Structure 1
Amino acid sequence: MTIGPSHDRRLRPATAAAATLLAGAFYGWARLRHGKPIHTRGSVHTARLIRHGLTAAELPAWFTRPGEVYGVARLSRGLSVPRPLPDVLGLALRFPGPAGSPSDLLLSTTGLAPFARHLMLPRRDPARVPYTTLTPYRSEHGSVLFAALPAPAAHRAGAGGPLLRFTLASATPMSAWQPFGSVELTPPPAGLVDPPVAFDPVLHPLPGLWLPQPVARIRAASYRAARRGRAGRLDELEAVPAGSPDEA
Protein backbone atom coordinates (compact mmCIF):
# COMPACT_ATOMS: atom_id res chain seq x y z
CA MET A 1 0.00 0.00 0.00
CA THR A 2 1.31 3.44 -0.93
CA ILE A 3 1.36 5.92 1.93
CA GLY A 4 -0.03 9.28 0.91
CA PRO A 5 1.29 12.63 2.22
CA SER A 6 -1.40 13.11 4.88
CA HIS A 7 -0.97 9.54 6.17
CA ASP A 8 2.80 10.03 6.24
CA ARG A 9 2.43 13.22 8.32
CA ARG A 10 0.32 11.34 10.85
CA LEU A 11 2.94 8.59 11.07
CA ARG A 12 5.91 10.87 11.71
CA PRO A 13 5.04 12.00 15.28
CA ALA A 14 4.25 8.42 16.28
CA THR A 15 7.50 7.19 14.74
CA ALA A 16 9.50 9.91 16.50
CA ALA A 17 7.85 9.10 19.83
CA ALA A 18 8.51 5.37 19.44
CA ALA A 19 12.13 6.03 18.44
CA THR A 20 12.69 8.26 21.47
CA LEU A 21 11.04 5.81 23.86
CA LEU A 22 12.98 2.78 22.63
CA ALA A 23 16.26 4.68 22.41
CA GLY A 24 15.91 5.70 26.06
CA ALA A 25 15.12 2.14 27.09
CA PHE A 26 18.06 0.69 25.12
CA TYR A 27 20.47 3.29 26.50
CA GLY A 28 19.40 2.70 30.10
CA TRP A 29 19.46 -1.07 29.78
CA ALA A 30 22.91 -1.01 28.15
CA ARG A 31 24.26 1.18 30.97
CA LEU A 32 22.73 -1.11 33.58
CA ARG A 33 24.17 -4.25 31.98
CA HIS A 34 27.51 -2.65 31.02
CA GLY A 35 27.04 -4.27 27.63
CA LYS A 36 24.49 -5.00 24.93
CA PRO A 37 20.93 -4.37 26.16
CA ILE A 38 19.57 -7.43 24.38
CA HIS A 39 21.25 -10.48 22.86
CA THR A 40 23.92 -9.91 25.51
CA ARG A 41 25.57 -13.31 25.23
CA GLY A 42 26.25 -15.24 22.07
CA SER A 43 28.74 -17.13 19.95
CA VAL A 44 30.44 -15.74 16.85
CA HIS A 45 31.09 -18.01 13.87
CA THR A 46 32.62 -17.79 10.43
CA ALA A 47 29.75 -18.02 7.93
CA ARG A 48 29.83 -19.30 4.36
CA LEU A 49 26.90 -17.95 2.35
CA ILE A 50 26.05 -19.73 -0.90
CA ARG A 51 23.57 -18.36 -3.43
CA HIS A 52 22.15 -21.02 -5.76
CA GLY A 53 21.04 -18.76 -8.60
CA LEU A 54 17.29 -19.27 -8.25
CA THR A 55 14.86 -16.66 -9.55
CA ALA A 56 12.64 -14.84 -7.06
CA ALA A 57 10.68 -11.88 -8.42
CA GLU A 58 10.87 -9.91 -5.16
CA LEU A 59 14.68 -10.22 -4.79
CA PRO A 60 17.33 -7.94 -6.28
CA ALA A 61 19.80 -9.48 -8.73
CA TRP A 62 22.60 -9.94 -6.15
CA PHE A 63 20.55 -12.57 -4.31
CA THR A 64 19.45 -14.48 -7.40
CA ARG A 65 22.89 -14.63 -9.02
CA PRO A 66 25.00 -17.72 -8.15
CA GLY A 67 27.88 -16.95 -5.83
CA GLU A 68 29.68 -17.67 -2.61
CA VAL A 69 30.95 -15.29 0.06
CA TYR A 70 32.40 -15.59 3.56
CA GLY A 71 31.30 -13.46 6.49
CA VAL A 72 30.50 -13.64 10.16
CA ALA A 73 27.48 -14.90 12.09
CA ARG A 74 26.36 -14.57 15.70
CA LEU A 75 23.92 -16.85 17.50
CA SER A 76 22.48 -15.34 20.67
CA ARG A 77 19.71 -15.43 23.27
CA GLY A 78 17.57 -12.30 23.19
CA LEU A 79 16.86 -11.79 26.90
CA SER A 80 19.73 -13.93 28.20
CA VAL A 81 17.29 -16.25 29.95
CA PRO A 82 19.37 -19.02 31.56
CA ARG A 83 19.41 -22.40 29.82
CA PRO A 84 17.59 -24.75 29.54
CA LEU A 85 14.68 -22.27 29.63
CA PRO A 86 13.52 -21.08 26.19
CA ASP A 87 14.37 -17.61 24.94
CA VAL A 88 13.84 -15.58 21.77
CA LEU A 89 16.91 -16.59 19.77
CA GLY A 90 18.78 -14.46 17.28
CA LEU A 91 20.83 -15.16 14.17
CA ALA A 92 22.82 -12.19 12.86
CA LEU A 93 24.74 -12.41 9.58
CA ARG A 94 27.31 -10.05 8.13
CA PHE A 95 28.86 -10.50 4.72
CA PRO A 96 30.58 -8.19 2.22
CA GLY A 97 28.19 -6.93 -0.45
CA PRO A 98 28.97 -6.29 -4.12
CA ALA A 99 31.12 -3.21 -3.35
CA GLY A 100 32.86 -4.88 -0.39
CA SER A 101 31.02 -2.88 2.27
CA PRO A 102 29.33 -4.86 5.09
CA SER A 103 25.72 -6.00 4.74
CA ASP A 104 23.88 -7.07 7.90
CA LEU A 105 20.90 -9.41 8.15
CA LEU A 106 19.23 -9.86 11.55
CA LEU A 107 16.77 -12.68 12.17
CA SER A 108 14.83 -13.91 15.23
CA THR A 109 12.91 -17.07 16.07
CA THR A 110 9.34 -16.76 14.79
CA GLY A 111 6.68 -18.82 13.10
CA LEU A 112 6.69 -19.39 9.34
CA ALA A 113 3.01 -18.96 8.46
CA PRO A 114 2.13 -15.51 7.05
CA PHE A 115 0.78 -14.01 10.28
CA ALA A 116 3.24 -15.85 12.55
CA ARG A 117 6.27 -14.39 10.75
CA HIS A 118 5.97 -11.23 12.85
CA LEU A 119 5.69 -12.98 16.23
CA MET A 120 8.84 -13.62 18.26
CA LEU A 121 8.72 -17.11 19.78
CA PRO A 122 10.91 -18.48 22.60
CA ARG A 123 12.94 -21.52 21.55
CA ARG A 124 15.67 -23.73 23.04
CA ASP A 125 17.92 -25.18 20.34
CA PRO A 126 19.40 -22.54 17.98
CA ALA A 127 20.32 -25.16 15.37
CA ARG A 128 16.85 -26.67 14.95
CA VAL A 129 14.47 -23.70 14.73
CA PRO A 130 13.49 -21.23 11.96
CA TYR A 131 14.42 -17.57 12.02
CA THR A 132 12.88 -14.67 10.07
CA THR A 133 13.43 -10.94 9.68
CA LEU A 134 10.14 -10.07 11.47
CA THR A 135 9.53 -6.95 9.36
CA PRO A 136 9.73 -6.83 5.55
CA TYR A 137 12.38 -5.11 3.50
CA ARG A 138 11.53 -3.05 0.42
CA SER A 139 12.86 -3.62 -3.06
CA GLU A 140 12.04 -2.19 -6.46
CA HIS A 141 9.63 -5.11 -6.87
CA GLY A 142 7.79 -4.90 -3.53
CA SER A 143 8.18 -6.19 0.01
CA VAL A 144 10.35 -9.17 0.96
CA LEU A 145 11.03 -11.14 4.14
CA PHE A 146 13.96 -13.48 4.76
CA ALA A 147 14.12 -16.76 6.66
CA ALA A 148 16.87 -19.12 7.78
CA LEU A 149 15.47 -22.64 7.99
CA PRO A 150 17.35 -25.45 9.74
CA ALA A 151 18.74 -27.79 7.10
CA PRO A 152 18.37 -31.57 7.50
CA ALA A 153 22.14 -31.92 7.95
CA ALA A 154 22.28 -29.20 10.62
CA HIS A 155 24.93 -31.04 12.64
CA ARG A 156 27.16 -32.32 9.82
CA ALA A 157 30.79 -32.51 10.97
CA GLY A 158 33.15 -29.87 9.62
CA ALA A 159 36.93 -29.50 9.82
CA GLY A 160 36.72 -27.85 13.25
CA GLY A 161 33.74 -29.71 14.66
CA PRO A 162 29.96 -29.64 14.18
CA LEU A 163 28.80 -27.47 11.29
CA LEU A 164 25.46 -25.64 11.51
CA ARG A 165 23.62 -25.28 8.23
CA PHE A 166 20.54 -23.23 7.34
CA THR A 167 18.57 -22.87 4.13
CA LEU A 168 18.03 -19.22 3.18
CA ALA A 169 14.61 -18.38 1.77
CA SER A 170 12.60 -15.31 0.83
CA ALA A 171 8.89 -14.53 0.63
CA THR A 172 6.50 -11.66 0.23
CA PRO A 173 4.41 -11.01 3.38
CA MET A 174 1.74 -13.51 2.30
CA SER A 175 3.51 -15.90 -0.10
CA ALA A 176 5.22 -19.26 0.48
CA TRP A 177 8.93 -19.37 1.29
CA GLN A 178 11.23 -19.84 -1.71
CA PRO A 179 14.80 -21.08 -1.05
CA PHE A 180 17.55 -19.13 -2.80
CA GLY A 181 20.69 -20.22 -0.93
CA SER A 182 22.21 -21.57 2.24
CA VAL A 183 24.56 -20.54 5.02
CA GLU A 184 27.04 -22.72 6.93
CA LEU A 185 28.37 -21.74 10.35
CA THR A 186 31.70 -23.15 11.49
CA PRO A 187 32.52 -23.53 15.21
CA PRO A 188 34.17 -20.52 16.91
CA PRO A 189 37.99 -20.71 17.13
CA ALA A 190 39.30 -22.07 20.41
CA GLY A 191 39.25 -19.44 23.15
CA LEU A 192 37.20 -16.98 21.06
CA VAL A 193 33.80 -17.08 22.75
CA ASP A 194 32.00 -13.83 21.89
CA PRO A 195 34.24 -11.10 20.41
CA PRO A 196 32.76 -7.59 20.15
CA VAL A 197 30.82 -7.39 16.89
CA ALA A 198 27.97 -4.90 16.50
CA PHE A 199 25.39 -5.48 13.77
CA ASP A 200 23.37 -2.61 12.30
CA PRO A 201 21.03 -3.31 9.34
CA VAL A 202 20.32 0.42 8.91
CA LEU A 203 23.95 1.46 8.49
CA HIS A 204 24.75 -1.76 6.61
CA PRO A 205 21.78 -2.39 4.28
CA LEU A 206 21.40 -5.48 2.14
CA PRO A 207 22.28 -5.12 -1.56
CA GLY A 208 19.37 -3.54 -3.42
CA LEU A 209 17.09 -3.51 -0.35
CA TRP A 210 16.09 -1.00 2.30
CA LEU A 211 13.99 -0.91 5.45
CA PRO A 212 10.72 1.06 5.47
CA GLN A 213 11.37 4.56 6.80
CA PRO A 214 9.50 4.23 10.14
CA VAL A 215 11.23 0.93 10.91
CA ALA A 216 14.63 2.30 9.90
CA ARG A 217 14.20 5.41 12.04
CA ILE A 218 13.20 3.47 15.15
CA ARG A 219 15.92 0.85 14.77
CA ALA A 220 18.64 3.42 14.00
CA ALA A 221 17.81 5.38 17.17
CA SER A 222 17.80 2.19 19.27
CA TYR A 223 21.13 0.93 17.91
CA ARG A 224 22.83 4.31 18.43
CA ALA A 225 21.55 4.53 21.99
CA ALA A 226 22.67 0.98 22.77
CA ARG A 227 26.20 1.71 21.50
CA ARG A 228 26.39 4.89 23.56
CA GLY A 229 25.11 3.11 26.65
CA ARG A 230 27.75 0.41 26.51
CA ALA A 231 30.53 2.65 25.11
CA GLY A 232 30.75 0.54 21.97
CA ARG A 233 33.60 1.09 19.53
CA LEU A 234 33.12 2.02 15.90
CA ASP A 235 35.38 -0.81 14.70
CA GLU A 236 32.79 -3.29 15.99
CA LEU A 237 30.53 -2.10 13.16
CA GLU A 238 33.05 -3.00 10.47
CA ALA A 239 34.20 -6.44 11.62
CA VAL A 240 34.17 -8.84 8.67
CA PRO A 241 36.61 -11.78 8.66
CA ALA A 242 38.76 -12.31 5.60
CA GLY A 243 37.37 -14.85 3.15
CA SER A 244 36.81 -15.62 -0.48
CA PRO A 245 36.08 -12.46 -2.49
CA ASP A 246 32.63 -12.25 -4.02
CA GLU A 247 31.95 -11.21 -7.57
CA ALA A 248 31.07 -7.60 -8.29
Structure 2
Amino acid sequence: MIDTVFRVLARWRHARAVHSPGVALRGVLRATGRDPVARLLSGGEPERDVLVRVSKGAGTPGTWPDVLGLAVRVPGGRPGGPLDLLFDSSGSLPVLRALPLPRRNWRARPYSTVLPYRVDGGLRWIGAFPAGGERLPSSTEAFRAAAERHPVVFTLTVAEPFGRWRAVAELEVRGEPERVEWFDPMVNHHPELRPAPGVLVRLRLAAYRGSREGRGAPAHPRS
Protein backbone atom coordinates (compact mmCIF):
# COMPACT_ATOMS: atom_id res chain seq x y z
CA MET A 1 0.00 0.00 0.00
CA ILE A 2 2.70 2.49 1.01
CA ASP A 3 4.85 1.72 -2.03
CA THR A 4 1.80 2.14 -4.31
CA VAL A 5 1.01 5.59 -2.90
CA PHE A 6 4.58 6.78 -3.34
CA ARG A 7 4.84 5.21 -6.80
CA VAL A 8 1.74 7.08 -7.99
CA LEU A 9 2.91 10.34 -6.43
CA ALA A 10 6.37 10.06 -8.02
CA ARG A 11 4.85 9.21 -11.40
CA TRP A 12 2.50 12.19 -11.17
CA ARG A 13 5.33 14.55 -10.23
CA HIS A 14 7.85 12.97 -12.66
CA ALA A 15 10.29 13.19 -9.78
CA ARG A 16 10.82 12.00 -6.21
CA ALA A 17 7.58 11.59 -4.27
CA VAL A 18 8.98 13.83 -1.53
CA HIS A 19 12.08 16.01 -1.29
CA SER A 20 11.95 16.37 -5.07
CA PRO A 21 13.38 19.87 -5.71
CA GLY A 22 16.98 19.65 -4.56
CA VAL A 23 20.57 20.65 -5.13
CA ALA A 24 23.48 18.18 -4.95
CA LEU A 25 26.88 19.46 -3.83
CA ARG A 26 30.24 18.11 -2.74
CA GLY A 27 31.34 18.07 0.85
CA VAL A 28 33.90 16.86 3.36
CA LEU A 29 33.29 14.86 6.53
CA ARG A 30 35.80 15.03 9.39
CA ALA A 31 35.59 12.79 12.44
CA THR A 32 36.05 14.73 15.68
CA GLY A 33 35.37 12.04 18.29
CA ARG A 34 35.92 8.38 19.13
CA ASP A 35 32.25 7.42 19.07
CA PRO A 36 31.43 4.26 17.03
CA VAL A 37 29.25 6.37 14.71
CA ALA A 38 32.20 8.64 13.91
CA ARG A 39 34.35 5.60 13.16
CA LEU A 40 31.73 4.04 10.88
CA LEU A 41 31.03 7.25 8.97
CA SER A 42 34.69 8.15 8.48
CA GLY A 43 36.00 4.63 7.91
CA GLY A 44 38.77 5.45 10.35
CA GLU A 45 40.06 8.25 8.11
CA PRO A 46 40.51 11.80 9.46
CA GLU A 47 38.79 13.31 6.41
CA ARG A 48 36.47 11.89 3.77
CA ASP A 49 34.86 13.28 0.62
CA VAL A 50 31.06 13.05 0.59
CA LEU A 51 28.09 14.04 -1.55
CA VAL A 52 25.35 16.21 -0.05
CA ARG A 53 21.87 16.97 -1.35
CA VAL A 54 19.67 19.69 0.16
CA SER A 55 15.94 19.62 -0.57
CA LYS A 56 12.45 20.62 0.57
CA GLY A 57 10.05 17.88 1.62
CA ALA A 58 6.85 19.12 -0.01
CA GLY A 59 8.63 21.19 -2.64
CA THR A 60 7.17 24.53 -1.56
CA PRO A 61 8.32 27.43 -3.75
CA GLY A 62 11.09 29.85 -2.90
CA THR A 63 11.55 30.53 0.79
CA TRP A 64 8.17 29.21 1.91
CA PRO A 65 8.37 27.06 5.06
CA ASP A 66 8.89 23.34 4.52
CA VAL A 67 10.57 20.33 6.07
CA LEU A 68 14.18 20.89 5.02
CA GLY A 69 16.21 17.87 4.01
CA LEU A 70 19.92 17.17 4.21
CA ALA A 71 21.05 13.91 2.57
CA VAL A 72 24.66 12.75 2.92
CA ARG A 73 26.35 10.03 0.89
CA VAL A 74 29.70 8.52 1.88
CA PRO A 75 31.01 6.75 -1.27
CA GLY A 76 32.38 3.35 -0.30
CA GLY A 77 31.07 3.87 3.23
CA ARG A 78 29.67 0.35 3.54
CA PRO A 79 30.80 -3.03 2.21
CA GLY A 80 29.98 -3.09 -1.49
CA GLY A 81 28.59 0.40 -1.89
CA PRO A 82 27.84 3.86 -0.49
CA LEU A 83 26.47 4.77 2.93
CA ASP A 84 23.51 7.19 2.95
CA LEU A 85 22.13 9.31 5.78
CA LEU A 86 19.01 11.45 5.54
CA PHE A 87 18.31 14.29 7.97
CA ASP A 88 15.10 16.32 8.27
CA SER A 89 14.67 19.62 10.06
CA SER A 90 13.47 18.74 13.54
CA GLY A 91 13.91 19.64 17.20
CA SER A 92 16.71 18.96 19.67
CA LEU A 93 14.67 17.60 22.61
CA PRO A 94 14.12 13.81 22.78
CA VAL A 95 10.43 13.97 21.84
CA LEU A 96 11.06 16.43 18.98
CA ARG A 97 14.07 14.76 17.35
CA ALA A 98 11.70 12.10 15.94
CA LEU A 99 9.42 14.71 14.29
CA PRO A 100 10.06 16.44 10.95
CA LEU A 101 9.34 20.15 11.49
CA PRO A 102 8.98 22.88 8.83
CA ARG A 103 11.49 25.75 8.79
CA ARG A 104 12.20 28.94 6.85
CA ASN A 105 15.92 29.09 7.56
CA TRP A 106 18.54 26.42 6.85
CA ARG A 107 20.48 27.52 9.93
CA ALA A 108 17.56 27.97 12.33
CA ARG A 109 17.36 24.57 14.06
CA PRO A 110 18.96 21.12 14.16
CA TYR A 111 18.34 18.23 11.78
CA SER A 112 17.73 14.63 12.78
CA THR A 113 17.60 11.21 11.15
CA VAL A 114 14.07 11.04 12.68
CA LEU A 115 14.41 7.25 13.01
CA PRO A 116 17.06 5.97 15.43
CA TYR A 117 19.92 3.70 14.42
CA ARG A 118 21.02 0.54 16.15
CA VAL A 119 24.75 0.72 16.82
CA ASP A 120 27.10 -0.75 19.39
CA GLY A 121 24.26 -2.57 21.18
CA GLY A 122 22.01 0.46 21.62
CA LEU A 123 19.78 3.00 19.88
CA ARG A 124 21.09 6.38 18.79
CA TRP A 125 19.73 9.27 16.82
CA ILE A 126 22.13 11.08 14.53
CA GLY A 127 21.79 14.84 14.28
CA ALA A 128 23.23 17.69 12.24
CA PHE A 129 23.50 21.10 13.92
CA PRO A 130 24.18 24.21 11.80
CA ALA A 131 27.46 25.76 12.91
CA GLY A 132 26.12 29.31 12.94
CA GLY A 133 26.38 32.13 10.46
CA GLU A 134 23.92 34.59 8.99
CA ARG A 135 20.33 33.65 8.25
CA LEU A 136 20.04 31.33 5.25
CA PRO A 137 16.54 31.45 3.66
CA SER A 138 14.90 28.10 2.98
CA SER A 139 15.36 27.83 -0.78
CA THR A 140 17.75 25.31 -2.30
CA GLU A 141 19.20 28.00 -4.56
CA ALA A 142 19.95 30.20 -1.55
CA PHE A 143 21.80 27.28 0.04
CA ARG A 144 23.84 26.66 -3.11
CA ALA A 145 24.73 30.33 -3.45
CA ALA A 146 25.85 30.46 0.19
CA ALA A 147 27.97 27.32 -0.22
CA GLU A 148 29.62 28.84 -3.31
CA ARG A 149 30.67 31.87 -1.27
CA HIS A 150 31.82 29.93 1.77
CA PRO A 151 31.38 26.33 2.99
CA VAL A 152 28.21 25.71 5.00
CA VAL A 153 29.19 23.75 8.10
CA PHE A 154 27.22 21.33 10.27
CA THR A 155 28.24 19.54 13.45
CA LEU A 156 27.19 15.88 13.33
CA THR A 157 26.02 14.57 16.68
CA VAL A 158 24.62 11.43 18.30
CA ALA A 159 22.22 10.93 21.21
CA GLU A 160 20.67 8.02 23.08
CA PRO A 161 16.82 7.99 23.29
CA PHE A 162 16.74 10.34 26.30
CA GLY A 163 20.32 11.56 26.24
CA ARG A 164 21.98 14.78 25.21
CA TRP A 165 23.52 15.36 21.83
CA ARG A 166 27.30 15.04 21.62
CA ALA A 167 29.51 15.97 18.69
CA VAL A 168 31.20 13.20 16.67
CA ALA A 169 32.04 14.78 13.30
CA GLU A 170 31.97 17.91 11.17
CA LEU A 171 30.28 18.19 7.78
CA GLU A 172 31.46 20.91 5.42
CA VAL A 173 29.24 21.50 2.38
CA ARG A 174 30.96 23.19 -0.54
CA GLY A 175 29.60 24.92 -3.61
CA GLU A 176 30.85 22.48 -6.25
CA PRO A 177 27.81 20.96 -8.01
CA GLU A 178 27.39 17.19 -8.14
CA ARG A 179 24.90 14.72 -9.59
CA VAL A 180 23.30 11.96 -7.50
CA GLU A 181 20.50 9.74 -8.83
CA TRP A 182 18.94 8.93 -5.47
CA PHE A 183 19.62 8.41 -1.77
CA ASP A 184 18.20 5.52 0.24
CA PRO A 185 19.32 5.26 3.89
CA MET A 186 17.11 2.20 4.34
CA VAL A 187 19.16 0.20 1.82
CA ASN A 188 22.52 1.96 1.87
CA HIS A 189 23.44 1.55 5.53
CA HIS A 190 26.46 0.01 7.22
CA PRO A 191 25.82 -3.44 8.78
CA GLU A 192 26.99 -2.00 12.11
CA LEU A 193 24.78 1.09 11.77
CA ARG A 194 21.25 -0.11 11.06
CA PRO A 195 17.98 1.89 10.99
CA ALA A 196 15.50 0.87 13.70
CA PRO A 197 12.82 -0.10 14.73
CA GLY A 198 11.77 -2.79 12.27
CA VAL A 199 8.14 -1.81 11.53
CA LEU A 200 8.96 1.79 10.66
CA VAL A 201 11.95 0.67 8.61
CA ARG A 202 9.73 -1.59 6.52
CA LEU A 203 7.28 1.25 5.90
CA ARG A 204 10.09 3.56 4.85
CA LEU A 205 11.62 0.88 2.63
CA ALA A 206 8.29 0.58 0.80
CA ALA A 207 8.03 4.36 0.44
CA TYR A 208 11.53 4.67 -1.05
CA ARG A 209 10.94 1.71 -3.37
CA GLY A 210 7.64 3.14 -4.63
CA SER A 211 9.18 6.56 -5.21
CA ARG A 212 12.04 5.06 -7.26
CA GLU A 213 9.74 2.87 -9.34
CA GLY A 214 7.32 5.72 -10.00
CA ARG A 215 10.00 7.93 -11.56
CA GLY A 216 11.89 5.09 -13.27
CA ALA A 217 15.05 5.39 -11.18
CA PRO A 218 17.57 2.51 -11.12
CA ALA A 219 17.34 -0.03 -8.31
CA HIS A 220 20.92 0.53 -7.15
CA PRO A 221 23.09 3.65 -6.89
CA ARG A 222 26.13 4.02 -9.10
CA SER A 223 28.44 5.55 -6.53
TM-score (structure 1 length as normaliser): 0.77
Q: Are the equivalent residues in 1 in contact too, given 2:91–2:109 (CA < 8 A)? A: no
Residue in 1 that maps onto 2:56: 77
Which residue of the other structure, out of 90, 96, 115, is the alignment partner of 2:69?
90
Q: Are the equivalent residues in 2 in contact too, given 1:133–1:145 (CA < 8 A)? A: yes
Q: Are the equivalent residues in 1 in contact too, given 2:79–2:190 (CA < 8 A)? A: no
Residue in 2 that maps onto 1:186: 174
2:65 maps to a residue whose letter is P
Aligned-residue offset at 1:196:
4.6
Q: Percent identity?
A: 33
Give 4+ residue runs of structure 1 displaced > 3 Å after superposition.
58-61, 63-66, 157-160
Residue in 1 that maps onto 2:142: none
Please state whether the residue corresponding to 2:100 is helix, strand or coil: coil
Aligned-residue offset at 1:230:
0.6
Aligned-residue offset at 1:47:
1.3
Q: Tell me how far apart the structure 2 counterparts of residues 138 and 182 of structure 1 sit (CA, whole Å).
A: 21
Q: Tell me how far apart the structure 2 counterparts of residues 73 and 217 of structure 1 sit (CA, whole Å).
A: 25
Q: 1:159 to 1:121 in 2, by over 3 A?
A: closer
Unpaired runs of at least 5, structure 2: 137-144
Aligned-residue offset at 1:206:
3.3
The 5 Å alignment of 1:44-59 reads 44-52=24-32, 54-56=33-35, 59=37
Q: Does 1:43 align with 2:2?
A: no
Q: Does 1:220 align with 2:205?
A: yes
Structure whose CA Rg is larger: 1
Q: Are the equivalent residues in 2 in contact too, given 1:26–1:225 (CA < 8 A)? A: yes
TM-score (structure 2 length as normaliser): 0.85
After the TM superposition, which of the residue ranges 72-81 and 127-136 deviates more from structure 2?
Answer: 127-136
Residue in 2 that maps onto 1:14: none
Q: Are the equivalent residues in 2 in contact too, given 1:60–1:207 (CA < 8 A)? A: no
The 5 Å alignment of 1:94-105 reads 94-96=73-75, 97=77, 99=79, 101-105=81-85
Q: State how many pairs are aligned.
A: 211
Over the residues paired in the alignment, what is the CA RMSD in angstroms?
2.5
Which residue of the other structure, out of 205, 214, 217, is the alignment partner of 2:189?
205
Residue in 2 that maps onto 1:7: none
Q: Tell me how far apart the structure 2 counterparts of residues 91 and 176 of structure 1 sit (CA, whole Å).
A: 21
After the TM superposition, which of the residue ranges 103-112 and 118-127 deviates more from structure 2?
Answer: 118-127
Write 1 or 2 for the structure with the bigger share of strand: 2
Unpaired runs of at least 5, structure 1: 1-19, 240-248
Which residue of the other structure, out of 111, 130, 133, is the alignment partner of 2:91?
111
Q: 1:33 to 1:73 in 2, by over 3 A?
A: same
